[in-house]
Amino acid sequence: MNSSELTSPRAWAGTLIGIHEYLRRLSGDRLVNEVRETLTNRLIDLYQDTATDDWPWFEDTLNYDNARLPHALILSGYWTSNAKATQIGLRTLGWLSKLQRAPQGHFRPIGTNGFYRRGGQRADFDQQPIEALAMVSACAEAYRTTEDSRWLNEARLAFEWFLGRNDVGLELYDASTGGCHDGLHLDRINENQGAESTLAFLLSLAELKLVESSLAAFRRAAEMADSG
């Protein structure tokens, strides 16, 4: 694996998340552990070079799949005992979650029609399923890392975007087909139901159910211990 060939921060983040799953089975792979350390440090350096108090982010623009970046740092930071990585991951995810919350309280991802450049006007549309998935996954990881219920609530909020708790009040998930619409326009949903969007919904559902099942199991165990 040649990490020097990866130049995109999102490629670094996606690789870090994949590396975690690989190392769960083959933790002794020295080369892959070195790549994880290298990519983690790249994200940290990028953040430190770019972030300011009012823009605590890795880049000058919020583009697509944004929550994947803090997700990678939270995950890698926790499993490598890198406190700086975890701290940056949680800080940036907290900032992003506030930025992507509408005044009414629902999830409002950065839109693709212009995205959001530092000092500019953020785009609210079109909204894409990949953003909801990225937020669900990142917040679920933050919850597993911190056990702070705030993150579980943020994950649920992002998932509810699929179910109609959004700017247009329309469901993107279509129970009649099992598919998910490709996006949210200013006044309507995108009628297409592509594989990527459907996978985004299904992965979000699985991620949320997994973390909620773990929480329920913990509560049952605690209740049994108390009663015993």
pLDDT band at 46 (very low <50, low <70, confident <90, very high): very high
> What pLDDT, on the 0 to 100 scale, is given for residue 18?
97
What is the percent of the chain where pLDDT is above 90? 89
Q: What pLDDT does 213 receive?
A: 83
Mean pLDDT value across residues 92-106: 98
pTM of the predicted model as reported, rounded to 2 decimal places: 0.92
Q: Rounded distance, CA 35 to CA 189, Å? A: 41
The answer to whether the bond into 54 is cis (omega within 30° of 0) is no
What radius of gyration do the chain's Cα atoms show? 18
Determine which helix (DSSP H) or strand (DSSP E) holds 180, and give its type and residue range.
strand 179-180
Phi/psi at 15 (5° precision): -65, -40
- In the three-class reduction of DSSP (H, G, I as helix; E, B as strand; rest coil), residue 63 is classed as coil
Q: How confident is the model at residue 226 (pLDDT cuts 50, 70, 90)?
A: low
Residue type at 192?
N
Angstrom distance (rounded) from CA 209 to CA 205:
6
Residues 6+ apart with CB under 8 A from 49: none
Confidence of residue 224 (pLDDT cuts 50, 70, 90): low
All structural domains of the chain with their residue ranges? 3-227
Number of H helices, E strands in the chain: 7, 4
State in words which class domain 3-227 has: mainly alpha
Q: How far is CA 53 from CA 30, 45, 68, 198, in A?
A: 37, 16, 21, 37
Instruction: With beta carbons less than 8 A apart as the criterion, state whether 159 and 129 touch.
Output: no
Cα separation of 213 and 162, whole Å? 20
Amino acid at 153: N
